[in-house]
Amino acid sequence: MSSEPPASSIFPRTDWAGLGKAADADEARLDGLIRLYWAPLRIFLVATFPSLKDQAEVLLQEFAEDKILKEGWLRRADRSRGKFRDFLKTSLRHFVLDRLNRAEVRHAPVSLDELEQELPGPPGPSEEFDLTWIRAVLTETLRRMEADCRDPAEDQPRRSFIWEMFRIRLIDPVLNDSPQTPYEELIERFSLKSPTDASNMLLSGKRMFKAHLAKVIKEYAEQDAATAAEIKALEDFVSHLAKRS
């Protein structure tokens, strides 16, 4: 594993005030966020406590019920430091340590004050957590984009074509290593009238992707400025990892 600082440190700060309000007002929304980012939390838990692999699901369930969904959990966080994801990691780590302590395995009890501390954590699990987080963000973005494009209430089949074009041109070749579909086939498949028509369809797909990505991120980053910074941070993070690999 790299000796560089945890990559999570490049992520922007979260709007705690907004999240605090959300915790009070909208438990269902918070519950949705937990479900969405279950995979990165699980990876972080298993990487940090490998011996608890078999109990990971149960622990996460308890963590969600006992901590995250408990009223005021977010308000206890020190809003002057950290980000939503870092706070999640720290809270989870403390939660598990507390459970282990209760089981009299090791570690002293963890106080609420300590819960508010930003634990540095080993770079490995943290980096793996952030990478899985990005995958979860992108998966949700593409899921919503596809649903949006296939919405029968919208302009069909044009909108479905936008999704298909985006998938054929960007998703499949880049993420699935599929060969590029010849341009002539695109003309036929989407009844394209001109190259401008083709480009506009592809550009529409990119714009929809961008809009959905911003929406998914805004659900935890809250403010527009933080969302924009988070998108940039996601790009920088994966590009940093890509250069290293």
Partner 1 sequence: MSEFDSAAALSKSPPKSLAAFLAAGAERARLWRPEELSAIFRHQMSSPILVDLGGFDPATASRLKVLGEAQSLLLKSFSDLFHHPVPPLELLSLTKDFAKANMDHPESSLPEEVAAVLYYASIATALVRLNARISQLKDAELQRGLLWAKDQPWVDEQTKEIFVQALKKILPDAPAKGSPQ
| 192 counts as binding partner 1 under rule CB under 8 A | yes
Q: What are phi and psi of 19, to 5 degrees?
A: -70, -35
Binding mask 136-175 for partner 1 (x = CB under 8 A): --xx--xx--x---x----------------x--xxx-xx
Tokens coding 205: 């797909």
Binding mask 106-135 for partner 1 (x = CB under 8 A): -------------------------x--xx
- Exposed / middle / buried, residue 183 (Cβ in 10 Å: 0-12, 13-18, 19+): exposed
| 191 counts as binding partner 1 under rule CB under 8 A | no
| 239 counts as binding partner 1 under rule CB under 8 A | yes
CB nearer partner 1, residue 80 or residue 196: 196
CA 55 – CA 43 distance, rounded (Å): 12
- Exposed / middle / buried, residue 97 (Cβ in 10 Å: 0-12, 13-18, 19+): buried
Residue with tokens 């592809």: 202
Tokens coding 224: 């527009």
CB nearer partner 1, residue 52 or residue 134: 134
| 196 counts as binding partner 1 under rule CB under 8 A | yes
State the DSSP string of 163-188.
HHHHIIIIIHHHHS-PPPPPHHHHHH
| 184 counts as binding partner 1 under rule CB under 8 A | yes
Find the shortest distance in angstroms from Cβ 120 to partner 1: 22
Q: Which of 126, 209, 217, 226 binds partner 1 (CB under 8 A)?
A: 209
Whether residue 30 contacts residue 22, with contact meaning beta carbons closer than 8 Å, is answered with yes
Interface positions with partner 1 (CB under 8 A):
131, 134-135, 138-139, 142-143, 146, 150, 167, 170-172, 174-176, 180, 182-184, 187, 192-200, 202-203, 206-207, 209-210, 234-235, 238-239, 241-242, 245
